[in-house]
């Protein structure tokens, strides 16, 4: 996985990501009651964590300022930094393909619009907030031939189709996942 400050992209290697397990079905893996109860606690914590985040984002305005925590004015320089990173990545030999990219935690499509859509033939987005997904579809309407699917899903529940993406891009979102789910993304996607 190549990374730069908040930008993480990882090239075409994918397999299934574990879904958040259902506590009711998970106890077969425990060695004893205490271990089962610890597993149940972790799963419950993780569900609470994502539910709280969902509530938080549902109160954020679907704007560039909202995406950047009130620092919308840095959007241009943020995108330029990401572009430099992408250019460096494509100096690799062999370079990744430029057919399909996945924008993770895409918000209203700021990264897709200003970075990924100009660069790739097709871009899919995955974003947990329904209103942001809707705004992204509107914001990206001019790119209709290049815009693929906008998946309304949490990354912790999402499994990209194996081999589909040349680049999987995650900007300003990995910090919103639990450590376990971040590890799963890096290892299994």
Closest CA to 106 of 89, 118, 124: 124
Question: Closer CB to ligand SAM, residue 33 or residue 77?
Answer: 77
Maximum distance among all Cα pairs of the chain, rounded to whole angstroms: 56
Question: Closer CB to ligand SAM, residue 2 or residue 36?
Answer: 2
**Residue 53 binds ligand SAM, judged by CB under 6 A:** yes
User: In the window 97-156, what residues touch ligand SAM (CB under 6 A)?
Assistant: 105-107, 110-111, 127-129, 132, 154-156
Name the one range near ligand SAM by CB under 6 A: 23-31, 32-40, 85-93, 173-181: 173-181
For tokens 């996985």, what's the residue? Answer: 1
> What phi and psi, each to the nearest 5 degrees, are found at residue 5?
25, -115
Question: Closer CB to ligand SAM, residue 94 or residue 175?
Answer: 175
Cβ atoms within 10 A of the Cβ of 168, count?
24
Asked if residue 126 lies in contact with residue 103, where contact means CB atoms within 8 angstroms, the answer is yes
For tokens 């425990």, what's the residue? Answer: 30
Question: Closer CB to ligand SAM, residue 102 or residue 111?
Answer: 111
User: In the window 9-48, what residues touch ligand SAM (CB under 6 A)?
Assistant: none
User: Which pairing describes strands 167-171 and 7-11: parallel, antiparallel, or unpaired?
Assistant: antiparallel
For tokens 């930008």, what's the residue? Answer: 7
Q: How far is the CB of 107 from ligand SAM (least distance, A)?
A: 3
Site of interaction with ligand SAM (CB under 6 A) = 50, 53, 57, 67, 105-107, 110-111, 127-129, 132, 154-156, 171-173, 176-177
């Amino acid at each position: 996985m190549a990374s730069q400050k908040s930008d993480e992209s990882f090239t075409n290697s994918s397999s299934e990501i574990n879904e958040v397990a259902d506590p009711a079905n998970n106890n077969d893996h425990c060695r004893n009651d205490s271990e089962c109860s610890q597993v149940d606690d972790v799963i419950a914590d993780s569900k609470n964590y994502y539910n709280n985040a969902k509530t938080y984002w549902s109160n954020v305005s679907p704007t560039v300022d909202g995406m950047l925590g009130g620092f919308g004015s840095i959007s241009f320089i943020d995108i330029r930094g990401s572009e430099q990173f992408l250019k460096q990545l494509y100096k690799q030999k062999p370079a990744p393909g430029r057919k399909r990219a996945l924008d993770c935690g895409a918000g209203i499509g700021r990264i897709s619009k200003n970075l990924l859509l100009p660069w790739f033939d097709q871009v899919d987005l995955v974003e947990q907030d329904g209103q942001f997904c809707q705004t992204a579809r509107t914001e990206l309407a001019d790119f209709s031939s290049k815009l693929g699917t906008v998946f309304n899903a949490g990354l912790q529940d999402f499994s990209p189709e194996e081999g589909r993406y040349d680049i999987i891009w995650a900007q300003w979102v990995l910090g919103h996942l639990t450590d376990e789910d971040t590890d799963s993304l890096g290892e299994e996607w």
